[in-house]
Structure 1
Amino acid sequence: MPQTLDAVAVRSWCARALDALGREREEIDAINVYPVADADTGTNLYLTVESAAQAVEAVFAAHEVGSSSPAAGEVVRAMAHGALIGARGNSGTILAQLLRGMAERLADGDELPGALRRAAQLAREAVAHPVEGTILSVAGAAADAAGACTDPGDAGAVAKAAYEGASTALDATPGQLEVLARAGVVDAGGRGLLTVLGALVESVSGAAVPARRERPAHPAPPPEQCGAEGGPAFEVIYLLEADDAAVERLRTRLDGLGDSLVVVGGDGLWNVHVHVDDAGAAVEAGVEAGRPYRIRITHFAAAAGAGAAAPPRREPVQRAVVAVVPAEGLAALCAEAGATTVLARPGEPPASGELVDAIRRAHAREVVLLPNDADLRHTAAAAAEQARTEGVRVALIPTRAAVQGIAALAVHEPGRRFDEDVVAMTAAAGATRYAELAVAERQSWTTAGVCQAGDVLGLIDGDVAVIGRDLAATAETVLDRMLSAGGELVTLIASDSAPAGLTARLESHVRETHLAVDTVAYAGGADAAPLRIGVE
């Protein structure tokens, strides 16, 4: 009986691909030598698919509320969009474009062969200078094999053909790229794509693909073989809101700045990836083209120069703190206190993979994780569990707001025993009540009554407690309510959008009306909340 790629199969495919990449991530990392030997391809593909999986689950969750089932086209579009906004690295960005190509055709009712052909075509077009022996070659071979399938309507048969074609092409990659031949490996991106196609086979046919193991790359390939000599120093990735004409100009600009340029997406939203020496210029080019955000800049660890030795392995520190923050100003504040930070903008919560990546970057044997958001509790717990499997001792303190995280950081002492430090930080966070001010976007019911668009809302411990018209006056009312239960220290974090002199007025108010209460103020930067308040 012919097998189809319906909504349930797409969901299963995404989940299986994430599980498989999780198991094989380190193996794929170990064979990564192109375009740079930075051992990140498996991790980047995992993070990309994790973002895709979250988008797919969100679609199913939305339909559960309405007791309906999503269409296959809706699910595959969500998978592609999730991959686009979460794409990491060269291979992750290309995978996002492959999924976008598949989504285009599958959503229009096309069969799997046509979807794979469109995927390979779009991915190749997205790369400024396509190279054979890479994920592009593997994707093209998969599409060719799928197109030769005698029963194009049988998704199971097509997926198996695509997997076999991709496997053959992957084995041929060392003969196409000298850097792979010298290192004794197949292309890491192509290997990751084969894992994703294997998950597709299992989802639509139920048949398991054969186990495959790769030998790690030969140690210390000469710099001229791994692309380090004279190569760009930085990898720059960002999401970009821009029109097609601006993106075409951006491609030309970035192509002149560096290499490994991949720009994927469409319909006004793009994911930009490039390797450059001048990271600032690459970001400025994005600003000229539209609105770049989620900017990630990575300095390649490979040593430059002919015959240069690999940099010494950095020994892990004993303890570190990883904190999620909602704005750049708070990121700088936490970084000054020694924390590794993860930026979480409104509507863009970090995935568990991003938190795991931050824990790895902290490079410590013991890590205290501060999610600073009640909605990130499960995400942070998953990240902590994953890090523990990698040998890191992780303590998750369930901070619900940034001011609680700041209070915990204030008492953090790396020199004392881990358990004692965690207890002290947990106590400091728990003793801190939190509030924030926001502006209502529309009329709605709240726990404090009906608000109108433009009203100032004072939220205490997550619930609307005060509704006002003036930001400063509403903030004073919030402070009075919080301090009525006592307090010794008030923390004020004002964003760039807050009125000038706001914190000075509030500090004066606290001095005059609440004796023996100290106040400290910080700049929050481009924060969505005009004011955040903590009371200890």
Structure 2
Amino acid sequence: MYKAGAERLTQHVKKVDALNVFPVPDGDTGTNMNLTFTSGAAELDKSPETTVEKISAIFSRGLLMGARGNSGVILSQLFRGFAKGLSGVSEADSYRLAEAFQQGVDMAYKAVMKPVEGTILTVAREAAAAARKAARSGSVEGVIEMLVEAARQALANTPNQLPVLKEVGVVDSGGQGLVYIYEGFLSAVKAGVTFDEPEMESGPVVVGESSLFGEAHVEMHHVIDQMDIQYGYCTEFMVHLKPDTPFLQQEFQERIGSYGDSLLVVADDDLVKVHIHAEEPGDVLSFAHRYGALDRIKIENMRLQHEDVLRRQKTKQMDWTPEQGDEHEMASVPSRSKKANKPYAIIAVASGEGIAEIFRSLGVQTIIEGGQTMNPSTEQFVHAIEETDAERVIILPNNKNIVMAAQQAADLADVQVTVIPSTSIPQGMSSLLAFSADERMETNRDRMSEALGYVKTGLVTYAVRDTTLNELVIKEGDFIGIFDGDIVTSGQNPYETARLLITEMVGEEDELITLIYGTDVEDEDMEKLKKQLKSSYGAYEVEVHNGGQPLYSFIIAVE
């Protein structure tokens, strides 16, 4: 079943990849799901195991390490729960199989802070519910048949659940990828099964990944009136559960939740991570200690942090100015050493040698090649963390579709790792300017996360198909300007589009415009554009760098 599911998904990768609301050449949901799923199948080839329990555990581990992008991480969680549902058995009947699908859904939902209907999660949930009803027949084949039928129906309904899908008139691509996997399962248990291939003129489409996950849980302390801070201590720790102490997550959450708010509890087999805002953190720790040994305890006074945030927002002082940036010669970039025994290391994801050099000049030790269409796997992050040999590691994903894989690697690491949820190259660079090697990890995390909001991001790329979006009529081959995730303009060439995009981005309080140009931009044309911008925006600093990135003619930062 696993191998047949992987094969069917592989056959349809390009269809799923092409199904993106944004007509940009980076729709990689299918690629991410395929690389994730086939990594699990590859692990099976290395093992002689034959029981349902062992095979599923091996497959799940392969998915976990190979997970790429948000869609891949969700897929890995679905089949992590599925494997747990098959724990302890060598063979699975219809009831056990159906319950395993439900456990997969439960685990995947736990991985998402704010689930949204009309996504892969909806398709998985509806399919699992149908599989449980079908289990009464006692037929494994019947369970999978109903799983596939319900998944298809749920997929067809996704445009009615997500307005952006209905606007374009198509379905969710993550859900479509899961349907292909389930169809592969059916082909493995039912001889001679065939599938009607849907007509896809514009194809099923995936909503932007950010809307799937809502606002990620970022441990930043909002600037509010101090009198409004009812629970003043941000308390975070891990509990290594005692083997002989029963742990019920729901009961634990309810009881510990009485000590404060902003509660987050993530539990695994023998480990629980807790984040809570409490007024008496000692009471929280005493309660949690009943369940096991405490580790990685962090307590911060949010009222004092609030004062610091206000002071820094008022002064908004940074250690770097555009003039200083010109003095950073590439020859001064620190060399990377695999074994340096250093207190800090920073890992950043980037595509383009020029961008990589900029990151290194700002203090990044390790660059992972990746970005749009090239989402690094969890395993790549794990290896990069191990190679740093640092006590504390900071990761800058620089892409919304990479954040979850980075966080998953952080959870697997043996050292202290913080993922700064940067979703663009400009955000990553802005975040680095707030880093200080003399500060604690918690302080760097908060300051670097806060710095993400100091910069606006613009992207210029080309349309891969005709579409109408945000009242813009876009033809295949047109250049499009994207401002903080929304298409706001289009043009016949990248330079005209960049000028229009900058007009949308620049505000009265901004001071600096930075253009990072890609492989399709000639130096001579870039100089002309730079002169035009300096003429039009005389009151602003205009910086230009050769990023060497593919797909995007320009990456623009406005600060």
Give the TM bin, normalised by the shorter chain.
0.3 to 0.5
TM-score by length of 2: 0.43
TM-score normalised by length of structure 1:
0.45
